[in-house]
Chains A and B, each alone.
Chain A
Amino acid sequence: MFDIIVVGGGHAGIEACHIASKFNLKVALITLSSVDIGSAPCNPSIGGIGKGQVVREIDCLGGLMGKIADMSGIQYRILNDSKGYAVQSTRVQIDKELYAKNATKLLESIEGISIIRDKVLSISKDEHFCVSTREDIYKSKKLIITVGTFLNGKLHCGNESFEGGRIDAEKSDGLVDIFSNIKIRNVRFKTGTPPRIKKSTINFDKLIEQKSDPETVNFHILHDQNRIIEQKSCYLTHTNENTINIISENKEKSPMYNGQISGTGARYCPSIEDKVFRYPDKDNHHIFVEPEGLSTDLYYPSGISSSLPKDVQLEFVNTINGLENAEIVKYGYAVEYDVIDTTNLNSGLEYIDIPGLHFAGQVNGTSGYEEAAGQGLIAGIHASMEVLGKVAPNLSRNDSYIGVMIQDLITNRRDEPYRLFTSRSENRLSIREDNTHLRMIHYREKMNINDSFDEYLKKLKEESEFLSNFIQNTSLDLREVLDYCDKTHKILEKLEKRIFVSDILKVPSVDPVDFLKYILKKSNIKCSFPTIRTCAISSKYLGYIDKNSNYTRKISRVDKMKLDHNKLLASNNISFECKQRIKKVRPETFNDLKNINGIRQATLAFVASGSY
């Protein structure tokens, strides 16, 4: 008898069973033997805009993703480097093989986790969950399903199609039969992946090199600035007219355009076919050529995911600058799969009608390893604390991207795979990568694990309080400031004789982190780097954050207004099209309604005034 069984060893499954073990529970991870634990079937990178924030949130809540990414990271980059701290995100290229190895090793080393390599055949529930595999039967109090694209998965590559969650792996067909009561969305989702290219056949001289950035801060908060393994470069190249022509000529061979695939792909992650047919005027598309690992021979050409027949894939790849003689090792494919209707889940990602059953990851219609991991962690925390008879904290959308994601998922149905963007958050200035530990600490406290990690976070918090005080209350002699300006050739206007540290941190041309470091050194004050960085940046944004909350406070009050969608549907003042959408999404709050695509302004005004 297990406390928790997790089905599926992807990024969601890893976090779910790992965090459960932190609560000292007995956990089983049942996963197909044909698939690696923590495998990265698509792009070989972790992080990205919005996603980097999630990785750090997972990390500060005690998850594994950041740690494993660092242990396997071969190229670091800060995205939006020049656009200000609030919109910056970290992305790390990973060695895929190493990532899976590290993930497996870490889980295997944990006593409370039993890894079971088997295929689930059926699941039933009486008092407990009863999971039958080919080999055995397992029982548990809670069950977390993280089967990714394996729910009724179907692969497409040209006119060939197979049943399966991805290439080389079986699909989890059993699950669909078992959960005949589970509401599946009546649209199937689709995702794709590009062909993989053999390193020795790439002409790197023709590509633009992007080296790993040594300044980027590692994901795991306990790791220092040093990289753990050797670093590699990524490369940039472009498509051209010839590439486009070949794809255009083969339109009828594309499963997505000839009707073979009915699933909906994400508009933000188009296949090369999508790009060509939707934006016919553009022939110059970026392609990042990324190494899949240190020792592997595979390169991942990001930006040309495709499900065209194999010969066409090779033909268009060879038109690309630097890839003229490239050989394809694995062909691109698209996969179609079923997703859960997440509006039937609660904030612990628990299926409301079947208590104790949680869903996390791509099966919930999200895309991306990071989104999956974030959900796995939340499902794991909730299931665990439930076993222990405690109430798990709900992450708020006001201080976390995970909170934004969970709320979006459970309140809204979408027509395409869900991906986090920083714009989904209303508080971009205060939900940043650099202050993640301060945002997560109160959730960590409520999880009540109380290990050395919590002590470390507490220390950082105290340090930040001290440093914020210092910033607000310390004034400097003009001379000190001018010294700094001389050193960095910055010109400050309108200097008073004495000036507060906080005022200088707000000056647009001053880098707040650099300046605060300088002043602390002069004042002989020692602080850890995460604290200096966070305090400097927070201080820079403080005034703007206050201003914004003044403007948006009342709006957020209206956003919370509860709606009765049946009444909306009965109203004479709402147009037919709007009603169609309302029927589909069933908004519960005004904010849900606002977020539905294509809802008319008049409808919103009408509903907001409470007149429906």
Chain B
Amino acid sequence: MKDYFDSSDSIIALSSGSLGKSAISVIRISGPIEPGILVKYLSINGPIEPRRAYFSKLYDESNKLLDEVVLTYFAAPSSYTGENVYELSVHGNPLNIKRIIRFLIDKLDLRDAAKGEFSYRALRNKKLSLNQIEGLDLVLNSDSGFAIDSGLELLSGNIDTDYDSLRKSYLKLVSLLEVVINFSDDIGEKESLDLFKVEFYNFKNYAHLLKGRSSVDGDSLIKPKVVLYGKPNSGKSTFFNRILKRDRAIVSEIEGTTRDYISENLYINDINFEIIDTAGIRETDNLIESKGIDFSNNLLKRSFYRVCLCKEVPSDISVFDLVIKSHSSYGSIEPINNGPIGPNPSGPIGPSPSGPIGPSPSGPIGPNPSGPIGPNPSGPIGPNPSGPIGPSPSGPIGPKFNEVIFNSESSRFIVEADLTDINDDFDEFIKRLIFFKFEQSILNSPIVVPRHRNVISKLNLLIDDFSNLLELEKDFGIISSEISNMGALIEELIGQVRVDDVLDNIFANFCIGK
């Protein structure tokens, strides 16, 4: 933590709504400052009691009205920071706020809070633990149920069992190293070395396990992006409007209608996805359109779920999670060739072609009267077999999607449908596919705290380097030094050390206070 964090000062900062965005803003003050000093500038008679809201006028030293405010006072130690805390709700005009803060700093001898300093004080005054702050960060910075769950878990102080296994294995590894160095006379030279090597591979496995859990980008799970990608006129905006059940995007037969991307919240089973309609991909001389196309490609890279809309299925669909072949009769029909991205890095998550889960890849779904209906009835996850998905033979006849193909080569679904003439079941089916991938992704509890992901990745790099070194190097001084480096990372991971780094990082990114 920065040394300039001096607790003897009282600090002030705008704590809600960034400048200029909201009608009412809250200014927060924390520190040893007594209520009597503040009252001098307020129209409140008598002492202020804690935990009560006062409506008051705020005057400057020459009795000129600055603003009408609501003041709430939290006395130490029963406050967020453990110090005296004052919350002033003021009118949200940026100039007004600046003027009030400047005035208070001046008259009350305050200073501007550094980034995250309120939380730092809370931590230092034993109001929060380190892990709790990390948890709180997750809770406060997200509006998805998943992130809140992960955050709450940290808040409750649970230590992940995989972390614990890793640490135990590390302890064992170090013990065996010490046996090799100090006691091989007793245990035997070769025996102790073999034990050490075996444990190293165990340890490596535990580290890899964690790496697997952190391979899904945490951010992409907190508010997962669903991107609609494809050539102009392929029906992206049409589909976007369908799934949102309102006319949000402009639909027209003119190529390049959507130029800037549009994003909207899409809730599936209470999980907040962000669905994004993008500009169609084509060669263009138009500067604005080409900028939009850049956005499309970037969004494709960063998204959790990638839907390709097309009239003709592209040859390589490995980058997408789902391909929707529309019946749009406008524009050219040759398939897009994918942009500069490789195959979808998260791999073929989604219904496994061989497993019992999800729609059976072999059975044609749709209006095949003899084939299995809809998704595989035995699969517990994935599109619900009993659900009203796809036109079942006995179901309502009428608008339909003509075909659902499971492309086993890329393990991707290709859905063909007339987007202008199909019932809601289609939308439900697509939502289920999206949710299915989400469920699969969180099934092995992904690690979402960026600090953890960062350390796990460093640890794995170190371990992989060391595996190579172990073949060559017979010097146990060097070996033990490398192992000790791993220990440093493990301590960092479990949160008992490197408090300084973590705090710097969290407070700089923390949304309360400043």
Contact = CB atoms under 8 A, between A and B. Distances in A.
A277 interface: no
B499 A608 contact: yes
Given A555-B488, A601-B167, A605-B159, A83 B180 contact: yes
A610 B500 CA distance: 11
A601 B186 CA distance: 31
Interface string B477-502: 11111101100110110111111110
Interface stretch (B127-135, B207-215, B298-306): B127-135
A180 interface: no
A421 B180 CA distance: 12
A611 interface: yes
Residue among B182, B484, B492, B496 with the most chain A CB within 10 A?
B496
Contacts of A176: none
Contacts of B474: 82-84, 508
A551 interface: yes
Contact of A605 (B128, B131, B178, B500): B131
B181 A548 contact: no
B484 A426 contact: yes
Contact of A86 (B130, B164, B475, B499): B475
B185 interface: yes
Given A605-B494, A609-B123, A86 B482 contact: no
Interface string A598-612: 000110111111111
Contacts of B130: 605, 608-611
Interface residues of A, number: 45
Contacts of B481: 86, 428-429, 541, 544-545, 547-548
A84 B482 CA distance: 14
Interface in B414-461: none
Contacts of A79: 185
Nearest to A424: B178
Contact of A85 (B477, B494, B499): B477
A131 B295 CA distance: 89
B473 interface: yes
Interface in B201-224: none
A423 B181 contact: yes
B480 A428 contact: yes
A432 B479 CA distance: 15
Contacts of B495: 605, 608-609
B126 interface: yes
A545 to B, nearest CB: 7
A87 B477 contact: yes
A601 B164 contact: yes
A552 B484 contact: yes
Contacts of B99: none
A177 to B, nearest CB: 40
Contact of B178 (A421, A508, A554, A559): A421
A558 interface: yes
B478 to A, nearest CB: 5
B40 interface: no
A54 to B, nearest CB: 15
A602 B124 CA distance: 18
A555 B178 contact: no
A249 B411 CA distance: 69
A601 B497 CA distance: 11
B96 to A, nearest CB: 37
Contact of B485 (A421, A509, A551): A551
A80 interface: yes
Nearest to A285: B186
B507 to A, nearest CB: 13
Contacts of B498: 554-555, 558
Contacts of B182: 49-50, 421-423
Given A508-B474, A554-B500, A611 B128 contact: yes
A432 to B, nearest CB: 8
Contact of B126 (A429, A559, A610): A610
A610 B123 contact: yes
Interface in B11-26: none
Contacts of B480: 86-87, 423, 428-429
B397 interface: no
A610 B181 contact: no
Contacts of B164: 601
Given A49-B181, A86-B478, A558 B488 contact: no
A286 interface: yes
Nearest to A608: B496
B267 interface: no
A612 B130 CA distance: 11
Interface in A539-581: 541, 544-545, 547-548, 551-552, 554-555, 557-559
B164 to A, nearest CB: 7
Interface string A79-120: 110111111000000000000000000000000000000000
B157 interface: yes
Interface of A: 49-50, 79-80, 82-87, 285-286, 421-423, 426, 428-429, 432, 508-509, 541, 544-545, 547-548, 551-552, 554-555, 557-559, 594, 601-602, 604-612
Interface of B: 123-124, 126, 128-132, 157, 159, 164, 167, 174, 178, 180-182, 184-186, 472-482, 484-485, 488-489, 491-492, 494-501
22 contacts: A80-B476, A84-B474, A84-B475, A85-B477, A86-B477, A285-B186, A286-B185, A421-B182, A423-B181, A423-B480, A429-B481, A509-B472, A541-B481, A544-B482, A554-B492, A554-B497, A554-B501, A602-B157, A604-B494, A605-B159, A609-B495, A609-B496
Given A50-B182, A79-B185, A84-B479, 16 more contacts: A84-B475, A87-B476, A422-B181, A432-B477, A544-B481, A554-B501, A555-B492, A558-B496, A559-B497, A594-B496, A601-B494, A604-B494, A605-B496, A608-B497, A610-B499, A611-B126
7 pairs of A and B residues whose beta carbons are closest in the complex = A86-B477, A84-B475, A609-B130, A611-B129, A551-B488, A608-B496, A83-B476
